[in-house]
Amino acid sequence: AKNAGKNTICFFDPALQEQIDHNLELSRGLRLALDYNQFFLEFQPQVNREGALVGAEALIRWCHPELGLIPPNRFIPVAEETGLIIPIGDWVLKNACKQLHIWKSHSKAKHLTLSINVSSRQFSQSNFVEQIKACLNQYEIDPKCLELELTESMLVKDQNDVITKMLELSKLGIQISLDDFGTGYSSLTYLKRMPIKQLKIDQSFVKDINMDLDSANLCDAIISLGHSLSLEVIAEGVETLDQFEYLAQRNCDLFQGYYFGKPSSADQLLKLIF
Ligand code: C2E
Ligand code: CA
Ligand code: CA
Ligand code: CA
């Protein structure tokens, strides 16, 4: 471009421009999505070593009127950039609590836990814990049933704030799980300093368990690390019997992945118990 600085070369990257336009369109759409009820949750089973259903992870879906189903990997980053993740995160929390409330009245479902993904910006809100508390009260939820999935990168930012919040949450009885474990920043000191209940082995390690010794060894190491700190360990992205058997034999506690069930409606999930 003509007016760009002397030493700057200004490229017009059509792919990048398309991306920017697309993100703009997404962020406009996201603003409306809540009002027009375009979000819904799917639930993916989490099972124990015996294969029994113990809980689920809630995963958000966006059904866009023109673009169809947009995957969260596409719109969550846009929601984070624009701040829309705050109302969307509230929506997820509320709907997760609604679901837990429904399960509470099923004799066979009342033990189920539900994990929700919490984004960094949402967790940083000063009233985050208050909101959780309010939601638990409103829907009369046993706090033990609600789990929050945080990622490692969220823990390194403002450690004192993070620890304060985590302590408050765990005092309430809410469980904290570290999502995508092994892929983030490698400071392990927070495992000692923070009330974490569960490590979630990232699916990239699980994927190659039976093909690549390094991945298998990494899974072994994460399970040992977790157990030596009295943490529960869950593997995500379990797609085959071989992967399940390997991890079960290594004493991994819980499992989630297509082998046990894809994310689905709550009704579909309950078919796994009844
Ligand atoms: P995540 O939290 O790591 O969620 C696991 C992702 O792996 C999900 O993708 C799930 O459908 C997929 N998955 C589960 N089992 C298997 C398997 O066996 N094989 C393979 N290949 N994939 C499997 P999904 O639903 O597309 O979500 C992608 C990401 O979007 C999530 O990754 C999470 O970071 C984010 N996300 C989803 N829902 C929410 C939400 O409500 N709030 C926030 N902040 N983020 C969310
Ligand atoms: Ca759980
Ligand atoms: Ca997750
Ligand atoms: Ca994950």
Ligand 1 centre from 58 Cα, in Å? 9
Ligand 2 centre from 201 Cα, in Å? 13
Rounded Cα distance, 182 and 62, in Å: 28
Is residue 161 helix, strand or coil? Answer: helix
Rounded Cα distance, 111 and 130, in Å: 24
Rounded Cα distance, 47 and 113, in Å: 11
Q: ipTM of the predicted structure?
A: 0.97
In this structure, the residue with its CA closest to atom 4 of ligand 1 is: 59
Q: In which band, very low, low, confident or very high, does the pLDDT at 155 lie, cut at 50, 70 and 90?
A: confident
Ligand closest to Cα of 94 equals: 1
Rounded Cα distance, 60 and 65, in Å: 16
Measured from the CA of 42, which atom of ligand 1 is nearest?
25
> How much of the chain is in helix, strand and coil states, percent to nearest 5?
45, 20, 35
Ligand closest to Cα of 147 equals: 2
pTM of the model: 0.93
Ligand 2 centre from 104 Cα, in Å? 16
- State the pLDDT at residue 4: 45
Q: 47, 59, 92, 262: which to mutate for ligand 1, most atoms within 8 A of CB? A: 59
Asked whether the beta carbons of 48 and 254 are under 8 A apart, the reply is yes
Instruction: Write out pLDDT tens, residues 192-204.
Output: 888 999 999 999 9
Which residue carries 């699916």 as its tokens? 203
Ligand 3 centre from 237 Cα, in Å? 11
